[in-house]
Structure 1
């Protein structure tokens, strides 16, 4: 698959992921506030965490975008793409809940940053626009020209496109967590009838 098709797939994946997140803001408050039996995060906290994490990932993505564009000067992009083909499948485990232990930094803990849901909703909308703008600035494969280390799950060096995949896969992981909460909430409600 050529780079333009891969980038179109990345765009569609990001848009679908953020659209799925957006549906959670319209769920009943009782569901969004429900704390699961394992004392994990409520839906409200999960959405806040996704916004917090995106904030920090997008700082790296913005810097990486600028550096990749700078690095593209004088390089033969086709040769670089051949040497560094995109491999989004290596990021698939990021989108799976319980796939590996994940230790997150304290500054991404949602309980420390209570944010009203309308503000989180707008934050996520803005973050999608920001992520797609970075993608638009790298239309021909330039995103492979800069890498940053990602320690999560021992991933190592990721290029700018892979960071964008990571951002969307992280949200996918939390969509699964939201679904788990909803299933548990529905079962509890049914048992109380």
Structure 2
């Protein structure tokens, strides 16, 4: 396994996902506040949900990265890298909106407590946190700690896979925002 290629691929995916999410903050108020006919969240609420989910995932990523760095002294990193293969297919459904039922915890539901500028700044900080963790674990150390992920039965995943999951979650909701925007355009075109 080329661990450096994996890290670079995750960085690239993060940049694309976060750049796309950031563009939504520049949409007009009609698009940002449109409540879809299915009763789902507005784009503003989706952006807040992305922030909240990232917040809680980053707590786990921080713990995992610290543990991975501690494990570096006790485990054989070269053997871990040699034996590791990234099962990208296993994760792809996470990035697809509506691909499976996702029951999120209540603390990840938007409350409307934050304005768009606050959310934008916080999401930008979260992007940089992810990059910092990838830079900290730049030699493969992220393989040395696994934590259970119950979403879509992913099971035990390593610190790199947690960061990739976070990026896929953002991608999932970009599709949801596109759906909202499409419905908005149709509704106000009439």
Superposition TM-score, scaled by structure 2 size: 0.97
Matched residue SS, 1:70: helix
1:125 aligns with 2:141: no
1:110-132 CA distance string (max 9 Å, x none): 1x243100000000000001011
The Cα of 1:76 is off from its aligned counterpart by: 2.5
Equivalent position of 1:105 in the other structure: 105
Give runs of aligned pairs for residues 44-193 of structure 1, distance below 5 A: 44-110=44-110, 112-191=111-190
Matched residue SS, 1:37: coil
Matched residue SS, 1:157: strand
Matched residue SS, 2:97: coil
Asked whether the equivalents of residues 95 and 170 of structure 2 are also in contact (C-alpha less than 8 Å), the reply is yes
The Cα of 1:140 is off from its aligned counterpart by: 1.2
The Cα of 1:85 is off from its aligned counterpart by: 2.1
Q: Distance in 2 between matches of 1:6 and 1:108?
A: 28
Gaps of at least 5 residues in structure 2 are none
Deviates more, 1:172-181 or 1:82-91: 82-91
Equivalent position of 1:36 in the other structure: 36
The Cα of 1:77 is off from its aligned counterpart by: 1.4
The Cα of 1:107 is off from its aligned counterpart by: 0.5
The Cα of 1:2 is off from its aligned counterpart by: 1.1
Deviates more, 1:84-93 or 1:154-163: 84-93
Number of residue pairs aligned between Structure 1 and Structure 2: 190
The Cα of 1:21 is off from its aligned counterpart by: 0.4
The Cα of 1:156 is off from its aligned counterpart by: 0.7
Give runs of aligned pairs for residues 15-30 of structure 1, distance below 5 A: 15-30=15-30
Matched residue SS, 2:34: coil
Gaps of at least 5 residues in structure 1 are none
Asked whether the equivalents of residues 88 and 162 of structure 1 are also in contact (C-alpha less than 8 Å), the reply is no
1:145-190 CA distance string (max 9 Å, x none): 1011011111111100000000000000000000000010011111
RMSD in angstroms over aligned alpha carbons? 1.0
The Cα of 1:90 is off from its aligned counterpart by: 1.3
Asked whether the equivalents of residues 88 and 165 of structure 1 are also in contact (C-alpha less than 8 Å), the reply is no
Superposition TM-score, scaled by structure 1 size: 0.96
